[in-house]
């Protein structure tokens, strides 16, 4: 057996290009359905676990999937905006804890999640270092976000402008890192958490500026009357909240009208959840309430259907590949007629020569299976993260 395998191996090594092509083709044929299944199943488990951990989401009427993806996985696209009055309404109902979410802005590639401390308790966060944000302008960084941005306690992250040309809109806010979370192996690892009011400041709904009554702001004053001062665009607005200027930061208007992307509702019990859902059942309401589990299940059903089509296609391609490989093998035998005759002529036993030829096939299949297994293992280990980043990008 050892000699048979040795001769087969030497043949494959000598004809390495052919071997690589065969191994690659068969590996793909084995891996594609298996790997796809692993990815889909794992992603499904991952997505489902995240969805199951989030009882209810309230948002503006629109796509439930967009609402769920943005709220659970902090996707780039954000849904129609709701407002803070939804948080107050849910809190006043005494049916659930309302956790605001404003997931709209980014710091480079990392999502900035405007929320409240309740989110930390809800997700049972633990800190690798530091503490929760205490004052506006502070942030807490997920484990992966910290690595990606290369930041730690005391460093700063800066929000990215929404568009290059919207100079009067979202402007960069420098935020101090107060804490770094321990790894959760969820999308929370990628996030930068801020108080929702900090997110509003990023948007420009809240701001801090020079005291217009002070002499330092004289250059910014356009007009002054007895009871009103009009400032021009030269007014210095702060892009970082510090101990010195924190008192100048303020919001205008009623905060209940300030925007959110979603509200996480954590019902006190199942009955409260049912009652709460009933309150949003009105078709004409401007808001919707979704159970993330339902949304993700529907998404997974769609993915499963697509997967089945892909697997069917792969099987067909696989059969074609196997047939082609068999043809290559038979042609190769024909080309190797003389070599086989030589071995037989000098006394090689027929079974052993045949075994050698079959061993070449077997080694290719075993190598392919092993390679497919390794790639499948790697897929199992890293696949869901890669898939999520594709889905959410």
Partner 1 sequence: MIALARPLTIAAILMLLVACSSDERAPASDAEKWAMPGVYAVNYPLAYFAERIGADSVEVAFPAPADVDPAMWVPAVDTIAGYQGADLVLLNGAGYAAWVQRVTLSQSRLVDTSAEFAERLIPVENDLTHSHGPAGDHSHGGTAFTTWLDAGFAIEHASAVLNALSRLQPENATDYRDRFDGLEQQLLSLDQALKDIASRIGDQPLLFSHPVYQYLERRYALNGHSLHWEPGVMPDERQWRELSGILAKHAAAWMIWEGRPHPEARDRLESLGVRSVVFRPAGNRPETGDFMSVMHENLQALQQAFPTSP
Partner 2 sequence: MIDIQGLQFSYGESDFSLQVPELAVARGETVAIVGPSGSGKTTLLNLIAGNAIPRSGTVNTNGEEVSGLHDAARRSFRIANIGLVFQEFELLEYLNVLDNILLPYRINRALTLDSDVRGRAAALAEQVGIADKLQRYANHLSQGEKQRVAVVRALVVRPPLLLADEPTGNLDPVNKERVLDILLEYAENNNATLITVTHDHDILHRFQRVIDFKHYYA
Listed in sequence order, the residues at least 6 apart from 194 whose beta carbon sits closer than 8 Å to its beta carbon are: 112, 113, 114, 115, 133, 138, 139, 140, 175, 202
Q: Please tell me the distance from the alpha carbon of residue 187 to that of residue 388, in angstroms, as a whole number.
A: 9
Q: Binds 353, which of partner 1, partner 2, none (CB < 5 to 8 A, cut-off by type)?
A: partner 2
Nearest distance from C-beta of residue 346 to partner 2, angstroms: 5
Contact in structure between 99 and 118 (CB atoms under 8 Å): yes
Judged by CB under 8 A, the chain residues 198 through 257 that form the site for partner 1 are 209, 212-213, 220, 227-233, 235, 241, 246-247, 249-252
Enumerate the β-bridge partners of residue 179: 130, 140
- Number of residues counted as binding partner 1 (CB under 8 A): 59
Of 254, 275, 204, 216, residue with least CA distance to 56: 275
The backbone torsions φ and ψ at residue 68, rounded to the nearest 5 degrees and listed phi first, read: -70, -45
Nearest distance from C-beta of residue 246 to partner 1, angstroms: 6
Residue 165 tokens, joined: 């040309």
What is the per-residue burial (b if ≥16 Cβ within 10 Å, else e) of 365-383?
A: bebbbebbeebbeebeeeb
Judged by CB under 8 A, the chain residues 336 through 365 that form the site for partner 1 are none
Judged by CB under 8 A, the chain residues 83 through 112 that form the site for partner 1 are 87, 91, 97-100
Which residue's CB is nearer to partner 1, number 13 or number 346? 13
Q: Which range binds partner 1 by CB under 8 A, 5-13, 19-27, 157-165, 280-288? A: 5-13
Q: Please tell me the distance from the alpha carbon of residue 238 to that of residue 216, in angstroms, as a whole number.
A: 14
What mask, x for binding partner 1 by CB under 8 A, covers residues 165 to 204?
A: ---x-------------xxxx---------x-x-------
Q: How far is CA 37 from CA 237, 246, 388, in A?
A: 53, 52, 15
Q: Binds 229, which of partner 1, partner 2, none (CB < 5 to 8 A, cut-off by type)?
A: partner 1
Nearest distance from C-beta of residue 116 to partner 1, angstroms: 5
Which residues contact partner 2 (rule: CB under 8 A)? 3-4, 6-7, 10-11, 13-15, 338-339, 342-350, 352-353, 356
> Chain centroid to CA 149: how far?
16
Of 342, 291, 357, 258, residue with least CA distance to 72: 291
Nearest distance from C-beta of residue 333 to partner 2, angstroms: 14
Q: Please tell me the distance from the alpha carbon of residue 386 to that of residue 384, in angstroms, as a whole number.
A: 5
Query: Coil, helix or strand for 76?
Result: coil
Nearest distance from C-beta of residue 366 to partner 2, angstroms: 19
Nearest distance from C-beta of residue 348 to partner 2, angstroms: 3
Nearest distance from C-beta of residue 381 to partner 1, angstroms: 5
Answer yes or no whether residue 276 interacts with partner 1 by CB under 8 A: no
Nearest distance from C-beta of residue 13 to partner 2, angstroms: 8
Which residue's CB is nearer to partner 2, number 340 or number 391? 340
Query: How many other CB atoms are there within 10 angstroms of residue 357's CB atom?
Result: 19
Which residue's CB is nearer to partner 1, number 151 or number 265? 265
Report the Cα–Cα distance between both ends of the chain, in Å, rounded: 52
What is the contact surface with partner 1 in residues (CB under 8 A)? 2, 5-6, 9, 13, 87, 91, 97-100, 116-118, 121, 126-128, 131-136, 138, 168, 182-185, 195, 197, 209, 212-213, 220, 227-233, 235, 241, 246-247, 249-252, 370-371, 373-374, 377-378, 380-381
């Amino acid at each position: 057996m050892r000699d048979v395998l040795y001769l087969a191996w030497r043949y494959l090594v000598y004809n390495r290009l052919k071997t690589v092509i065969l191994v690659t083709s068969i590996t793909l044929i084995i891996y594609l359905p298996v790997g796809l299944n692993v990815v889909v199943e794992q992603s499904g488990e991952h997505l489902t676990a995240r969805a199951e951990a989030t009882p209810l989401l309230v948002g503006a009427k629109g796509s439930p999937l967009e609402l769920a993806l943005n709220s659970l996985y902090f996707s780039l696209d954000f849904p129609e905006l709701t407002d803070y009055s939804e948080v107050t309404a849910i809190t006043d109902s005494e049916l659930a804890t309302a956790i605001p979410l404003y997931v709209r802005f980014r710091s480079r590639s990392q999502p900035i999640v405007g929320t409240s401390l309740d989110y930390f308790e809800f997700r049972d966060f633990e800190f690798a270092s530091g503490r929760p944000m205490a004052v506006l302008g502070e942030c807490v960084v997920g484990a992966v976000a910290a690595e990606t941005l290369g930041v730690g306690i005391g460093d700063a992250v800066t929000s990215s402008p929404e568009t290059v040309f919207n100079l009067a809109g979202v402007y960069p806010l420098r935020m101090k890192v107060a804490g770094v979370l321990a790894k959760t192996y969820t999308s929370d690892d990628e996030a930068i958490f801020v108080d929702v009011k900090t997110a509003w400041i990023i948007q420009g709904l809240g701001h801090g500026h020079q005291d217009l009554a002070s002499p330092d702001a004289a250059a910014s004053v356009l007009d002054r009357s007895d009871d009103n001062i009009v400032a021009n665009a030269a007014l210095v607005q702060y892009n970082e909240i510090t101990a010195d200027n924190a008192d100048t930061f303020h919001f205008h208007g009623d905060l209940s009208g300030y925007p959110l992307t979603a509200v996480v509702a954590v019902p006190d019990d199942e009955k409260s959840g049912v009652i709460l859902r009933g309150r949003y059942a009105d078709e004409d309401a401007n808001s919707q309430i979704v159970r993330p589990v339902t949304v993700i299940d529907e998404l997974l059903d769609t993915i499963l259907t697509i997967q089945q089509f892909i697997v069917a296609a792969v099987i067909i391609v696989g059969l074609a590949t196997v047939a082609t490989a068999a043809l290559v093998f038979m042609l190769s035998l024909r080309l190797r007629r003389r070599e086989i005759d030589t071995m037989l002529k000098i006394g090689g036993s027929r079974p052993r020569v045949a075994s050698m030829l079959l061993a070449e096939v077997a080694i290719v299949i075993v190598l392919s299976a092993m390679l497919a297994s390794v790639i499948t293992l790697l897929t199992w280990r890293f696949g869901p993260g890669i898939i999520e980043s594709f889905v959410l990008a």
